Amino acid sequence: MALASILAVLDGRAGSEAVLDTALSLGKDFESAVELLHVEAGPESAVPMLGENVSGIVIEQVMESIESEIARRAAEAKRLYAVGCVAAGLPVIDHEATPPAGRFSVRFEHIIGQETEELAKRGRLTDLVMVARPSDEDGGAGPRTLEAGMFDTGRPVLMVPPGTKGPLGAKVALAWNGTREAARAVGAALPILGKAGRVVILTARRSKDDTKPSRLAHYLALHGVKAETWAFTPQRDSIGTELMIEAAEAGADMLVMGAYGHSRLREFILGGATRRVVAEAAIPVLMAH
């Protein structure tokens, strides 16, 4: 198995540089075709949020602010691409060109539309989707993009925290509870696990728990991946927080886990453990639903 294609969202916010660096690092390691995507939203999309009894002056001021922020993010995405890819002498190709198979390449596309919709469509035909970890400054856009990647593409998503640097996947922690989502995440991560120097299976000790990490270790061994088991007893209310603590103690530079949520009115709401990991992750997290 390989990561032949990677789709990375450069939204122009604070986490975009980390997404770019991580996408390029993985792209080089796996000789992948890396597609960098920036989706520029039309400012008119925010007007209904203002309500009906807002004066024209206020609407104009809000529109100007939105337009300025949209332009700033687009400029930042283009700058990152120009500096990190073009000026760096990477194998850049036109966004309409067909990437060469089995060779590292980079292309950038800037389009007008809805980020969640474009990500859902394009993400279904890539091996890995990459997005920045949402922050409080996103105004809700970051979480929506992450959820679109996890629940609408059918593909694994690598969430990258700001400040992520250097090679990725030297030490990988797997959050294992025997569920379908966890199994899908492990399967999606196999290319990365195959190159990892250390793989640790994290399992929480619970009463009446029949999760057997040894079975996962045996499965991974069939793929040439040597993994060690790491059981821990939860001491806090949030298993998500526990996973991040245990992954840090194991020295992992990536966490692999299933993404959990439920649907309500066609919108996905993240489950408690997933929500906590999204909020607290200090290392990249590969998730699958």
Could you read off the pLDDT tens digit of each residue along the chain, which spans 289 residues? 589 999 999 999 989 999 999 999 999 999 999 999 999 987 566 555 555 666 777 667 777 888 888 999 999 999 999 999 999 999 999 999 999 999 999 999 999 999 999 999 999 999 999 999 998 666 667 788 998 999 899 999 999 999 998 789 999 999 999 999 999 999 999 999 999 999 999 998 875 566 789 999 999 999 999 999 999 988 776 888 899 999 999 999 999 999 876 554 344 456 667 888 888 899 999 999 8
Q: Which long-range contacts (CB under 8 A, 24 or more apart) does 122-125 make?
A: 122/7, 122/35, 122/37, 123/7, 123/148, 123/149, 123/152, 123/153, 123/155, 124/153, 124/154, 124/155, 125/5
pLDDT score for 240: 86
Token pair of 105, please?
């390449």
Q: Find all residues with CB under 8 Å of 19, minimum gap 6, and list them.
A: 8, 9, 10, 130, 131, 132, 160
Give Cα separations from 57 to 10, 91, 206, 270 (angstroms): 32, 48, 59, 38
Look at domain 171-288 and name its CATH class.
alpha beta
CATH 3.40.50.620 domain span(s) along the chain: 5-160, 171-288
* Closest CA relative to residue 205, chosen from 180, 230, 232, 228: 232
Give the CATH H-level superfamily of domain 5-160. Answer: HUPs (3.40.50.620)
